[in-house]
Amino acid sequence: MSTQTIPMPIAADSPSSFAAPPDVTAPLKPASLPAFLPGIALLFTIGLLGKLLEHAFTVLSTEHHLRLPQISYVLWAILLGLMVSNFLGVARIFRPGIATYELWLKLGIVLVGARFLLQDVLHIGGLSLVLVAVELALSLSVMTVLGRIFRLPPKLTSLLAIGSSICGVTAIMAAQGAIDPDEEDTSTAIAAILTLGAIALVTFPAIGHSLHLGQQAYGMWAGLAVDNTAESVATGALYGQDAGRWAILAKTARSSFIGFVVLGYAVYWASRGQAAHVRNKPLFLWQKFPKFILGFLAISVLATAGFFTKGQLNSLASLSQWVFLPAFAGVGLRTNMKDLVGQGWRPLAVGILGEMFIAIITLGLVFWSYNHGVAR
């Protein structure tokens, strides 16, 4: 997670802007900051509607004894976003604001630092770092081998390996400037990673329940195995509130490696004369480091130092959940099924096989650490 700028708003001047899939080839014009407001309003509306639907289903089940499925607000928000983007279409006027889902996601992660004492962050975060290091080495190797077996372009293989081992789309975007891939390779890798994230939203909670995983173990697994930060947080939250926050901790530990992996690939492709040389490596690492993690740590330090009362900590945790609502809505809104199925079968096959491997390996690592008392 190191994308550090908000996409510039697109001028909403076209009356024919109600097309379902975003027209990525359309020329983009700068617009004023108020252009963000419609999309932000849409994100919050969908998120709040998800929360209301969860409440309504609970009330109908308990007070009127109706047999309704208990669907969490996380899933409602994602499903409503998916329905809007795929069936109704997202008007051009909403798109700049929808892109701010990343801000709400990062703000939620910063605020959720209030739920972690620093010793928990150091213990579980430290364990996550070890698990991430193992996961990184294995997933990068496996994705590279799979890319060669399926004869993918080498840079597309690099992008898929980076995206699946670190933090999805953001890692791919970070690598884009460093290894100079073709535009098509970048688009394909992003589409594959988003597809795999959507699959994880459905499969991970089901697997977690069938294996009777605890909240912490499941959250660690979701944080270690699901690529994109938004999907990772959502996959954790779908299992439970505690699982959601442990997924955030594991995911932030994983994201902190982004600079090192991208730097490694940049050096590799530069040595082959197919990318620019990185002159200042420490600066490169700092530029790629996801700095919102520092905010998460700052709130955690303040919480540990007793800066907040227990009631205030609960308020901050609640605030983080409110802020996550638009982020979850954004996950659904930016997922376009037509884009996902139109990417060709080979990158997706490499992604699915690689992700299955990563999911199994990380599940094994989490099981091992919990059965040997490494985690608590």
Partner 1 sequence: MATPETNRPAQPGTGHRLPINVDLLAIGLGLTLAALVRFGVIHQITF
| Residue 167 beta carbon to partner 1: minimum distance, rounded to whole angstroms | 13
135 versus 163: smaller Cβ distance to partner 1: 163
118 versus 374: smaller Cβ distance to partner 1: 118
327 versus 361: smaller Cβ distance to partner 1: 327
Which two tokens mark 19?
Answer: 């097309």
In eight-state DSSP terms, residue 35 is G
Interface residue list for partner 1 (CB under 8 A): 2-10, 22, 24, 28, 30, 96, 99, 102-103, 106-107, 109-111, 113-114, 173, 176-177, 180, 183, 186-187, 190, 273-276, 290-292, 294-295, 298-299, 302, 307-308, 311-312, 314-319, 321-322, 334
| Residue 9 beta carbon to partner 1: minimum distance, rounded to whole angstroms | 8
Cα-based angle 337, 351, 160 (whole degrees, multiple of 5): 100
Do 254 and 223 form a contact (C-beta atoms < 8 A)?
Answer: yes
95 versus 246: smaller Cβ distance to partner 1: 95
16 versus 32: smaller Cβ distance to partner 1: 32
| Residue 291 beta carbon to partner 1: minimum distance, rounded to whole angstroms | 4
| Residue 311 beta carbon to partner 1: minimum distance, rounded to whole angstroms | 7
What count of other Cβ atoms lies within 10 Å of the Cβ of residue 240? 17
145 versus 154: smaller Cβ distance to partner 1: 154
> Residue 109 corresponds to which amino acid?
I
| Residue 250 beta carbon to partner 1: minimum distance, rounded to whole angstroms | 19
Do 331 and 231 form a contact (C-beta atoms < 8 A)?
Answer: yes
| Residue 107 beta carbon to partner 1: minimum distance, rounded to whole angstroms | 4
* CA distance linking residue 100 with residue 3, whole number of Å: 12
Which two tokens mark 136?
Answer: 């990184």
DSSP 148-184: HHTT--HHHHHHHHHHHHTTHHHHHHHHHHHH---HH
| Residue 279 beta carbon to partner 1: minimum distance, rounded to whole angstroms | 12
CA–CA distances in Å: residue 44 to residues 207, 244, 263, 317, 329: 30, 20, 37, 18, 8
DSSP 67-126: ------HHHHHHHHHHHIIIII---GGGHHHHTTHHHHHHHHHHHHGGG--HHHHHHHHH
27 versus 373: smaller Cβ distance to partner 1: 27
